[in-house]
Chain A
Amino acid sequence: MKRLIGLHLGALCVAAILTGCPPAEPDAPGIYAKMGEPLPSATPEQLATFDRGLAVMQHRFDLKDGLGPSFNVTFCGACHERPTPGGSAALYRNFFISGTRTNDGALLLGDVGGIVRLFHYGPGDRPRPVIPSFKNVFTQRNPIPFFGAGLMAELSDEEIRSREDPDDLDGDGISGRPNFDRGFVGRFGRKAQVVSIEAFIRGPLFNHLGITTDPLSEEQRAALPVDSSAAGTEAKQAAAPDGPTLDDDGAPDPEMSTNDLFDLVSFAMLLALPEPEQLSLQGARGQYEFERIGCAKCHVPRLRGPRGLVPLYSDLLLHDMGEDLADGIEQGVATASEFRTQPLIGMAAVGPYLHDGRASTAHEAILAHGGEAQTARDAYAALDGRGQAALIEFLYSLGGRDQASTGLIAPNTPVPFAGEYGGPRRDLSAAEMAQFIRGRELFDRDFSKANGLGGPADALGGPRFNGDSCRACHIDPVFGGAGPRGVNVIRNGFVSNDGVFSPPAAIGTILHKEIIPGYDPAKPETGINVFEHRQTPPLFGLGLVDAIADATILALEDPDDADADGISGRAHVLPDGRLGRLGWKAQVPDTTEFVRDALGNEMGMTLEEEAGLTFGFTADTDDVPDPEVFADEEQDLAFFLAMLGPPPRQPGADSALALQGEALFAASALGCAKCHVPALSATIDGAPVAVPLYSDLLLHEILPEGAPGIEDTYAGMREFRTAPLWGISQTAPYLHTGAADTLDEAIRLHDGEAAAIRDAYEALPEAERRAVVAFLETL
């Protein structure tokens, strides 16, 4: 009976909303815009800083800029991309926090806030850095969105503390309490451990990128969109570390200027909130349930800031979320099981959910609530399907739904024209275009644990993966392209004293960077002694590469260097007789197998068994039924990649110089074109075409004599396929390891068979070296 009364009351409320009650106090003016856009109240000067800050956010830091030497990502936007810069990210950007639980029970996070850095270049560590043995606590964190950060910064401590009830004096089972940072109420971070936006940006810049900064000066803090000077209206925003961050990577500190930092902080402060939708009848029912079952006790709809009411749907207080969500990490006064109430505004577009992204839907997230939220969670679970759907509808109506997608491609994004980056290699029929779009959506789609993400659990830990989508790694300069260093694949193996390579015993040579939430980071097998970075190769024009006849490639072989030119390329003929042509070691024969290989090895997705196809996995150990990707989906994906056009040539800055460089490149005196063959012939749709990929698709030894490496099938440790150069101007960094920031560096790092050519390049006058690079930049 009580339930019926409740529903009737709810219905009355819904009716009241729809028919118009006395208007409640409106939300603060000038706070809503599309996600990724600035506050409408921003001044022209602030808009200029916003644009500059956006550029800083998307800037890829190179080694010469001071990246690392240990890092997780190379740019801020790597982790704050969903659905736009400033947002969250999918599981592939999860990071690990580690700590040490001491004998007397203290939890020490240690250097860089306990962040586990997953990549390293240069001396001092291996490509997948060693995790110190004294670390005995690990957890994962999913990146947090910044929308409305400036509005949160403006909230007074008193406003947040007005809802604290640490001893649950009102007996409602909810006992939120604030966290503190330097004397002020923390509000940023999963545990509200940080009060200042500047600190919340400088910390990750150092911890995740290895980019050092100086703190902003008082003068700069006073000029921020949220006055952050000690004497200003928001003095708490001055509560940031006053010391510089420093490292010893050879790049002068600070590695980001304070002007750039100012713009970046301004960008974050100016990000608007998405406007909640007008509630549908279902949404209004959901809002009623949201209030009725107690969600709003913590997810307080509105907090009062200096501009007026701000609809965060959070009290920004810490709440005990129960043992199942406890992550072992204590920050400030927050215990392992305490988390800040996550703001819900815009949640439709910023999944996955919860601190480690374990929930891919709001439904999963609610059911994972415990502790103080157990009662509300149980009440939700007790709702019938319509009630639950209504509540979810309400949550997804809280702004941003129109920007949500299954990946990063915004809804209704048109397909580029043929000839443009990201477009098909020719005009497509309607049916072909539909399949191309389906394939693109699959390429972009983020998979989750519920979809079967992650390979088999084994002695090394839980289900592992590198990316949760194809797009995760292939983003530069557009989806389908190469990837920055922060999505490198780390391969590992064992090389004996007499130079014999052995792969790890349990799994292949990939040492995955990610693992399903709940597991510690993957560690290499005992005894592994060789680690190697592998850059993400671009996928443009794969269909054209498929179309090159084996005979064309085999005709270029010279395994014994019969022509005595020092170059002895050989084809990578696979065990089943097929000719490998894709991958850094030419270990994959064609686009379809490449899709299967990546879905299996990089994402841990199982596939249907198909005649003639040998790559990928058909079964794993998770509880998602196999196959996790169906054959028709795989075919759509393969079609998308096969039809993805080759990279368009770029206009050079100096066409005369580029022409000179092209001539030098082709000249036998230099010899680049001996391996980087400008074009290979193919037959496409019955017509002969030249495929200008600047590669012979053969294996060459390009590492120094005796250098250890990773073998793959029949490709030796020092052997690599001649990397196609088409599109290379847009796919920095270079080489299989990504060790080269620039094309000039990449050429100078050639060795083995290419040593003589490298020497010849280095012997060129500087003007001619610049010409060669200018030519490459037109590719």
Chain B
Amino acid sequence: MRWIYRAAGPPRRWCFLCAALLLAAFHPGCVPVPNPPDGEGEPQMEGEGGIFLEGEGEGVVEGEGGGEGMPALEPVWRVAFTVQANGGLSAVWGSAPDDVFIVGGTTEQAWIYHFDGIEWSQMAAPAVPQLIWVFGFGTDNVYAVGLDGAVIQYDGLQWHILDSGTDEDLWGIWGTAPDDLWLVGGELTPGDPVILHYDGQVFAKWAAPENDRNATSLFKVWGIGDEVFAVGSTGLIIAFDGERWAQVPAGPAANDDFVSLWGTREDHIAAVGGRASGILSDFDGQAWSTRPVAPVPGLSAVYMGQDDEAIVGGQRGFVGHYNPETMELIEEAAPTDNLQFIHGVWGDDAGRHYAVGTRYIGVNTTTGFALVRTLEPPPERVR
């Protein structure tokens, strides 16, 4: 079955960006994927490497889809690649359509994949455990964080390990500049959330603000303009006012974890979460307003590239789009099933979106997967 969660509002209209011409880029840090036949412990990619150049641009129309005489474009999700080793993919981010990073791994070893506009390849990853989130400032300045306090930086040539000074799990990283990075995390066991600030030289630990939710972890941090927020377990949202972090009200429906957030303006930010069932929260510049979105399952990923469209993902292979202006959340058809868990989504300037996650088969038996979403004309109807 497919969910349509529809709050009050006018019928939605699609809005698209044009597709940009993709240029292949060479990344010295990339290693060709070996695809070992029985690569136990070695991630083995399968999928459609380079699919994004095939037929690229066909049927993609600039401006608003569905214009007069033009076919309305529809989102199409495809499998970009899968990783057959035990582990998962956690996050995706890029500096450009031809410079996209996907991170993940196992509890022992991180994985990093890169898309150069033509194909995906695996990068040499330092000896750190699973990476959870990736964020950067350009093709030669990318950061990733993960389990056990792992922080690594990519300088355009290779990844380096940075000493974060903590062994607690780090779940999110974001900043306004390479000398103004926030890292958040924490353990699921009792304890305070972790907040680190990196000035490009030193990681400084900040005390987590008091909260009445007994939250133990912050999962993501994100900001725009003067608004910087971090979200975490038990529905915790904290805000940074330039000097200190403090809890802000999230509302009565914020009764479960918030896992991720994104926005386009200071008064246009969305946070998603929930475990058994999804919750969604909007920030209007003044306050957060949270509501349940059942039957949509728990949500864990959000990316907002334009005001009226956030791509969201979560449990049970759920991917969909959310319009903060109309409050509609609509599931999209995707090659996923009930065993898949979307951990991260991101979109490039070319209107392409990615979703990455983990597929459960059994305990200690998981695979990673990456999906890509393009906008295409609907299939030709036979009359």
Interface residue ranges, A against B (CB under 8 Å): 100, 102-110, 132, 134, 157, 178-185, 193, 214-219, 230-231, 235, 238-239, 242, 244, 254, 258, 330, 332-333
Question: Hey, which chain A residues are within 8 Å of B7, CB to CB?
Answer: none
Give the secondary structure class of B's interface. Answer: loop
CB distance from A196 to the nearest CB of B (A): 10
Please indicate the chain B residues that have their CB under 8 angstroms from the CB of A193 in the complex. Answer: 276
Chain A proximity of B360: nearest CB distance (Å): 4
- 5 contacts across the A-B interface (CB closer than 8 A): A180-B295, A185-B295, A215-B362, A218-B362, A238-B339
Docked-complex contact B213 and A242, CB < 8 angstroms:
no
Residues in chain B near residue A106, CB distance under 8 A: 213, 235, 250-255
Say if the beta carbon of B337 comes within 8 Å of chain A.
Answer: yes
Interface flag for B3 (CB, 8 Å): yes
Q: Given A214-B363, A238-B339, answer yes or no on A182-B315 (Cβ-Cβ < 8 Å).
A: yes
Complex CA distance for A105 and B294, rounded to whole angstroms: 19
Question: A121 CA to B252 CA in the complex, in Å?
Answer: 36
Q: Determine how close the nearest CB of chain A comes to the CB of B313; give it in whole angstroms.
A: 13
Which residues of B sit under 8 angstroms from A254, Cβ to Cβ? 363
Find the B residue at minimum CB distance from A158.
B1
Given contacts A217-B365, A235-B338, whether A183 and B3 have CB atoms under 8 Å apart is: yes
Is B255 within 8 A of A107, CB to CB? yes
**Size class of the B contact interface (CB-based, 8 Å):** 20 to 34
Task: Give the docked Cα–Cα distance between A332 and B294 (Å).
Answer: 8
Residues B255 and A330 in contact, CB atoms below 8 Å apart: yes
> Does B251 lie within 8 Å of A104, measured CB to CB?
yes
Q: Tell which of B277, B297, B339, B365 touches A333, judged by Cβ atoms closer than 8 Å.
A: B277
Instruction: Please name the 9 residue pairs, one residue from A and one from B, whose CB atoms are nearest each other, closest first.
Output: A217-B362, A105-B252, A104-B249, A180-B294, A183-B297, A230-B338, A214-B363, A242-B360, A180-B295
Nearest residue in B to A215 (C-beta to C-beta)? B363
- B299-324 interface (Cβ within 8 A of A): 315-316, 318
**Residues 275-292 of chain B, each 1 if its beta carbon lies under 8 Å from chain A, else 0:** 011000000000000001
CB within 8 Å for A108 and B339 given contacts A183-B297, A333-B292: no
A219/B362 contact (C-beta < 8 A), A182-B276, A231-B337, A332-B277 known:
yes
Closest B residue by C-beta to A110: B214
Q: In angstroms, how far is the closest chain B Cβ from the Cβ of A761?
A: 39
- With A107-B255, A182-B276 already in contact, 8 other A-B pairs whose C-beta atoms are closer than 8 Å: A104-B251, A106-B235, A106-B252, A108-B213, A157-B1, A180-B295, A183-B315, A218-B339
Check A183/B214 contact, CB under 8 A, given A193-B276, A230-B338, A238-B338.
no
Q: Which residue of A lies closest to B250 (CB)?
A: A104
Contact between chains at A183 and B339 (CB < 8 Å): no
Bound-state CA distance A216–B338 (Å) is 14
Complex: A132 Cα to B255 Cα, angstroms? 18
- Is B361 at the interface (CB under 8 A from chain A)? yes
Q: Which A residues are CB-close (under 8 A) to B337?
A: 230-231
Q: Which residues of B contact A182 (CB under 8 A)?
A: 276-277, 297-298, 315-316
Residue B130, interface by CB 8 Å? no
A179 partner residues in chain B, CB cutoff 8 A: 294
Judge whether B214 and A100 touch: CB under 8 Å: yes
- Contact indicator B276/A181 (Cβ below 8 Å): yes
Please report the C-alpha to C-alpha distance between residue A34 and residue B60 in the assembled complex, in whole angstroms: 64
Per-position contact with A for B192-232: 1 when CB-CB < 8 Å, else 0?
A: 00000000000000000000111000000000000000000
Name the residue on A nearest B1 (C-beta): A157
A104→B212 CA distance, assembly (Å): 9
In the complex, what residues of A have CB within 8 A of residue B296's CB? 183
B106 nearest CB across to chain A (Å): 15
State whether A100 touches B297 (Cβ < 8 A): no
Rounded to whole Å, the gap between the CB of B257 and the closest CB of chain A is 10
Please name all residues of chain A whose beta carbon is closer than 8 Å to the beta carbon of B339 when the two chains form the complex.
218, 230, 238, 242
